[in-house]
Amino acid sequence: MLTDLYVFGDSALHRMHPGVKILVLISVCTLLFIFEGWTSLGLGAALVALCFALSGVRARHLVAALRPAFWILIAIFLVQVYLTNIHFASFIVARFAVLILAATVVTATTRTSEMVDGILAGLRFAPSWVPKNQIALGVSLCLRFIPLLLSVFNDVRQAQSARGLDRNLTALLVPFVLRTLKSADEVSEAIYARSFD
């Protein structure tokens, strides 16, 4: 599941400074867009495969990382086939898959608190008006609340399913958004209560 973002381990990648991992991730992703082509994509894929091998993360995490994006990738593929050709559509989808897997390597081998430290280190020289702590906390909350939001959505879906409304978008989204906003209120109170400025 995407929700199990971090995978416990003691590999070289787990021990690597989070700032370095984030920097490499950003660089690889950028380079894949600058040097467009199957050769650079192949090199990127090989690098991601090597990192996975070094990290000791199991193959099921690869599959699990791609599964939530599966239908989106299919949709992108179909649109690209319609707009361009099957060759370019395949390339676009393959590049997205490599990007997702590259990000999965980082999240699977980096604790959220380390990620936050890495982001803070990266923002060390940012101007004083940049809310560094808030940005770092925002990222950590995104990662923490993926499973919570999935759980809320499943609760809502089951409740609406019991009423025969599981295919009604309004019946699913309205309570989901309301519950999410209510949770967000309480989360902000809890963060304040725990001495965050």
Partner 1 sequence: MNIEFADVTVKKGDVTVLRDISIRLSERRIGVIGRNGSGKSTFARLFNGIEVPASGAVLLDGVPERKNLRRHVGFVFQNPDNQIVYPIVEEDLAFGLKNLKLPKAEIEERIGHAMRSLGLDHLRTRLTHQLSGGEKQMIALVGALVMHPRMIVFDEPTTLLDLWNKQKFMETINALPQHVVVVSHDLDLLRGFDRIVHIEAGRIVADGDPAKVLDNYIASSQC
Give me the residues that bind partner 1 (CB under 8 A), please.
3-6, 8, 111-113, 137, 140-141, 143-144, 147-148, 151, 183, 186-187, 189-197
Q: Which is nearer to partner 1, 93 or 119 (CB)?
A: 119
Least separation in angstroms between residue 138's CB and partner 1 is 11
Q: Which is nearer to partner 1, 49 or 187 (CB)?
A: 187
Least separation in angstroms between residue 194's CB and partner 1 is 4
Least separation in angstroms between residue 84's CB and partner 1 is 39
SS3 115: helix
DSSP 84: S
CB 46 within 8 A of CB 32: no
Least separation in angstroms between residue 24's CB and partner 1 is 22
Instruction: State the Cα–Cα distance between residues 10 and 179, nearest whole angstrom.
Output: 38
Least separation in angstroms between residue 25's CB and partner 1 is 19
Q: Which is nearer to partner 1, 122 or 166 (CB)?
A: 122
Q: What is the 3-state secondary structure (H, E, C) of 144-174?
A: HHHHHHHHHHHHHHHHHHHCCCCCCHHHHHH
Q: Which is nearer to partner 1, 98 or 152 (CB)?
A: 152
Instruction: State the Cα–Cα distance between residues 56 and 62, nearest whole angstrom.
Output: 12
CA separation, residue 8 to residues 20, 36, 57, 110, 170 (Å): 19, 34, 9, 9, 39
Q: What is the dihedral of CA 22, 26, 27, 28, to 10 degrees?
A: 100
CA separation, residue 33 to residues 26, 29, 52, 102 (Å): 11, 7, 22, 14
Q: Which is nearer to partner 1, 74 or 191 (CB)?
A: 191
Least separation in angstroms between residue 111's CB and partner 1 is 6
Q: Which is nearer to partner 1, 170 or 186 (CB)?
A: 186
